Amino acid sequence: MKTRLQLPQITWWRIFLLAVMSVGLYSTYLRFAHGLGASTALRDGFPWGLWIGFDVLCGVALAAGGFTVSAIVYIFHSERFKPIVRPTILTAFLGYLLVIVGLLFDLGHPWRIWHAIIMWNPHSVMFEVAWCVMLYTTVLALEFSPMLFERLGWKIAYKTVHRLTVPLVIMGVLLSMLHQSSLGSLFLILPGKLYPLWYSPWLPIFFFVSAIALGCAMTIFESFLSYRAFRKRLEIDLLADLAKIMAVPLALYLLLKFLDLRGRGVLHLAWEPTYEGRMFLLEIIVGVVTPLVLLLFRRVRYDEFGIFVIACLVVFGTVMNRLNVATTGLEGYAGRYFPSWSEFAVTAMIIAMGFVLFGLAVKYLRVFPAEELRAAGEGLPELPVVTALRRPLTSPALVVLVVAGVLAVAGSGLAYSAFSGRPSDGSASSGTLLPDISRGVTELHLSDVDFISSPDSPGKVTFRHGSHVDFDRPACADCHSGRFSMLSRSSLEGVDMHDEQHCGACHDGQKSFSVTDDCSSCHGN
Amino acid sequence: MSPKQIQRKKAILLDTTRCVGCGACYQACQEQNGQLRPSGDFLNEDLGARTFTVVNNRSGRYVRRMCMHCEVPTCVSVCPVAALEKTAAGPVVYHDRKCIGCRYCMQACPFNVPRYEWTSTTPYVRKCNMCAARQAKGQATACATVCPTGATSFGDREEMIQEARRRILAAPDHYFDHIYGVQEIGGTSVLVISDVPPEQLGLPTRLGNEPLPELTWNVLEKIPTAVACGGVLLSGIWWITNRREEVARAEGKKKRS
């Protein structure tokens, strides 16, 4: 009998995906079956790690394209950008869903994620973020829903939501403005802990401005990937304009950062050869200064590879910034933190889920206008890197390649020096000097304890703390560790005090005279 | 007024000059919280999910570490679900039924006190609760009850401040003239006096006297204004650009006709 099964095509990407998913699922099992301690490098001094730093902080920032592009199109009426609204809304919606997934991993009691709905604390930034994320995910779901209604043929629902577009967009922008900045405000309460290069009263402003830049960068990034993966036309002129728009928040960010550091008198810390200083320079030079310089060249802006590199740099810079605020900047205070493999695995799985869901949406919904998709069968254009290598002198990609190469070398040098200057484990430095307790000992008042005598007792026993305590080292805990209660007089009635649990513990003939030696040593004194 | 509301605010006074490092507080604390176990090395131990107080050697002094029960607690302000609460009598208590496990309290605490049950699959935040249950019965905290030297004492906050002043005045050569916790970050319910400045005891001294929650409240209180202004601004921009388009469309029609 011959039955031919239609197996999905095996590609390297799918094998890779399968591997990421399996390791991720195993880590998920570790996390939920054995707890956070078994699955993460988190500890009491370092309660937030990669899952908050990347999955939540970066996740929300990377989804900023949703409000940036919809504001450009619907509020500023730049209708030219309309073709990229749907994919960015989709990216944002998936982004927020995955942020919630990441949060479910990180929360100690994930099944109580809804608590903030009924248990209020308006003084908490986290409370505000929780509400904004809930509301904005709903807004994004509504903004995304027309794609679904259209596919299902639900015309009334489609029209209803479509009519709500502008109010939804305004709500979305307001909510984003609030929580993008509030993610920065989360760290305002750590003045003594976060390294001064990142701790600033302007944190909320920095988080918001960089989110706008990142929103543009992610849109470019995601357009480029769609162009490679789904054979979509690349709207290079649109993206070049978006890149130009991006230059505004990016430059503003750099300016504000400079003013802030100088105003607080900590600018010099950036040049110091410390772990923090290097990580900060890496973030600013690679993620802000370089893309700004590259954006000055029209030829780079209009080059598909050039614009992709710019977008990647901005994404890198912002991701690094969020991780620096959430982890690097706290290492000086709380000691080293490096995520465990399972933290990486879960994060990789969540990213992979994002790609798979985006792919499925493109396959089953009209994410891109039909005319944007090239006819199937038409080959992909060759990779820009290959083009650049073949025609090295005529391609603007050369500029980008050279800059990227120099950066890679400089960056790895910086990273290397950063890691070699990493703070060691922040174990509390306890003085080796043995404390002088002479003053304390004069205050020492220890009462005598009269034991109850049994009828056959040779005489009453009074326990004298004075003769049992070493006054150079009065270690109460040695005897009071459960054997003799300190808070409530434990009843010793009917207890044989001679046994190993009581007097016999020390009066054994070795540590001290034995309970069987001479009764009058204790009894009747 | 209920009796709870008129309850006087309590405090713990720590005097490092009297501490002999005997570990009675450590032991009594574990006994009180049902965490008793064979004697631990309280001098070298750190606070933990089952250890709410330790005695550490700092600059050659025995210094107790425990929750400071701030007057305006950072942990209470950051908790998104109000699982932490500052009670009228002083203790900062934890309602584990509300806690979602975000650990913001641990991240935010300026004294680095709250601990987590990392090995549990239903983990809770753990810290000293200033023996709130004993206090409700009119008793002193376990640690103060057993301290044999008066290095830890318990009473009304005002009285404890007076007592600290008395001790400093009576032996000015023996004390550094400062009561830590009267003003620091808005005040704490655990007061510390010593013969050395507080920074040598490992206490944070650069955080000022303003409560830390002010730092975020300054931003949070602007939210309603920001939403109102932002909403009006965005709607305004939309209205203008929309109108401009309508006009352009109408003029285009006119030209064509």
- Chain A neighbors of B235, CB-CB under 8 A: 170
With an 8 Å Cβ cutoff, are B19 and A440 in contact?
A: yes
ipTM: 0.91
Residue type, A333: Y
How many CB atoms sit inside 10 A of residue B98's CB? 20
pLDDT of residue A476: 82
Between A353 and A402, whose confidence is greater? Answer: A353
Give residue A391's pLDDT band: very low, low, confident or very high (50, 70, 90): low
pLDDT digits (tens, 9 = 90+) for A32-49: 999 999 999 999 999 999
| pLDDT attached to residue A375 | 47
Please answer yes or no on whether B212 and A189 come within 8 Å at the CB atom. Answer: yes
| Count of beta carbons in the 10 Å neighbourhood of residue A196 | 15
Which residues face A450 on adjacent strands? A462
Q: Is A35–B120 a contact, with Cβ atoms under 8 angstroms apart?
A: yes
Q: What is the pLDDT of residues A138-177, one digit of tens each?
A: 999 999 999 999 888 889 999 999 899 999 999 999 999 9
More confident residue, A361 or B39: A361
Asked if the model's pLDDT at residue A322 lies above 90, the reply is: yes
DSSP state of A381: P
- Closest CB from A33, A106, A109 relative to B122: A109
- Which residues in chain B have their CB less than 8 angstroms from residue A33's CB? 121
Which of A108, A122, A430 is opposite residue B56, by nearest beta carbon? A430
Q: How confident is the model at residue A396 (pLDDT cuts 50, 70, 90)?
A: low
Task: Give the best residue of A177, A206, A430, A449 to mutate against chain B (max B CB count within 10 A).
Answer: A430
- Please give the residue of chain B at the shortest CA–CA distance from A469: B22
Query: Could you give the C-alpha distances from B14 to A436, B27, B68, in angstroms and in order?
Result: 17, 17, 11
Cβ proximity of A169 and A75 under 8 Å? yes
By CA distance, what is A445's nearest residue in B?
Answer: B148
Which pLDDT tens digit goes with each residue over A501-525? 788 888 888 888 888 888 888 887 6
In B, minimum Cα distance to A489 occurs at B146
Phi, psi of B202 (to 5 degrees): 80, 15
CB pairs under 8 A between A and B: 256
Sequence-ordered list of residues with C-beta below 8 angstroms from that of A332, at least 6 positions apart, any chain: A195, A275, A276, A423, A426
Backbone angles phi, psi at B180, to 5 degrees: -70, 130
User: Across residues B162-185, what is the average pLDDT?
Assistant: 95
Give the orientation angle of helix A165-185 with respect to helix A155-163, to 10 degrees. 60
Cα Rg, chain B, nearest whole Å? 26
Distance from CA of A461 to the nearest CA of B (A): 22
**Distance separating alpha carbons of residues B195 and B17, to the nearest angstrom:** 7
Average pLDDT, chain A: 86
Residues facing residue B14 across a β-bridge: B152, B192
pLDDT at A8: 67
Q: What is the pLDDT of residue A506?
A: 84
Structure confidence at residue A141 (pLDDT): 94
Tell me: pLDDT of A421 over 70: no
| Chain A, nearest residue to B228 by Cα | A174
Per-residue pLDDT tens over the stretch B52-79: 999 999 988 999 999 999 999 999 999 9
Write the residue in B23, B24, B82 that is nearest to A121 by C-beta. B82
Residue to mutate among A123, A169, A207, with most B CBs inside 10 A, is: A123
Q: What is the pLDDT of residues B240-256, one digit of tens each?
A: 999 998 898 888 877 76
pLDDT at A397: 62
Name which of A81, A422, A399, A83 is nearest A232 in CA terms: A83
- In chain B, what is the straight-line distance between the N-terminal and C-terminal CA atoms, in Å? 81
Residue A399's pLDDT band, with cuts at 50, 70 and 90, is low
Q: Is the pLDDT of residue B19 over 60?
A: yes
**What pLDDT, in 10s, does the model give residues A431-474?**
567 888 888 888 888 888 888 888 888 888 888 888 888 888 88
Minimal CA separation from B254 to chain A, in Å: 22
CA distance to partner chain A, nearest, from residue B172 (Å): 14
Question: What single DSSP character describes residue A456?
Answer: T
Give the per-residue pLDDT at A376: 45
Nearest CA in chain B to A41: B118
* pLDDT value for B37: 73
* CA torsion through residues A290, A291, A296, A301, sign: positive
CA angle A488, B144, B96 (to 5 degrees): 80
B110:A192 CB<8 A: yes
Q: Which of A123, A177, A182 sits opposite B77 (nearest CB)?
A: A123
Contact B101 A112 (CB under 8 A): yes
The per-residue pLDDT for range A52-77, each reduced to its tens digit, is 999 999 999 999 989 999 999 999 98
Report the gap between the CA of B115 and the closest CA in chain A (Å).
6
B48–A487 C-beta distance less than 8 A: no
- Least confident span in A223-237, A302-316, A480-494: A480-494
Residue with tokens 């920095």: A206
Report CB contact under 8 Å: A192, B206: yes
Q: Which chain B residues are within 8 Å of A121, Cβ to Cβ?
A: 77, 79-82
DSSP per-residue letters across A58-111 = IHHHHTTHHHHHHIIIIIS--GGGGGGHHHHHHHHHHHHHHHHHHHHHHSSSGG
Q: Angle at which helices A203-229 and A236-263 pack, to 10 degrees?
A: 160
- B209-220: per-residue pLDDT in tens? 999 999 999 999
CA gyration radius, chain A: 33
pLDDT (tens digit per residue) in B134-165 = 999 999 999 999 999 999 999 999 999 999 99
Asked if B121's CB is within 8 angstroms of A487's CB, the reply is no
Beta-strand relationship, B92-94 and B125-126: unpaired
Q: A364: distance to nearest CA of chain B, Å?
A: 33
User: Is B27 close to A477, i.e. CB distance below 8 A?
Assistant: yes
Per-residue pLDDT at B4: 47
Chain B residues within 8 A of A501 when measuring between CB atoms: none
Per CB-CB distance under 8 Å, the chain B contacts of A75 are 234, 237-238, 241
Query: CA nearest A108 in B: which residue?
Result: B101
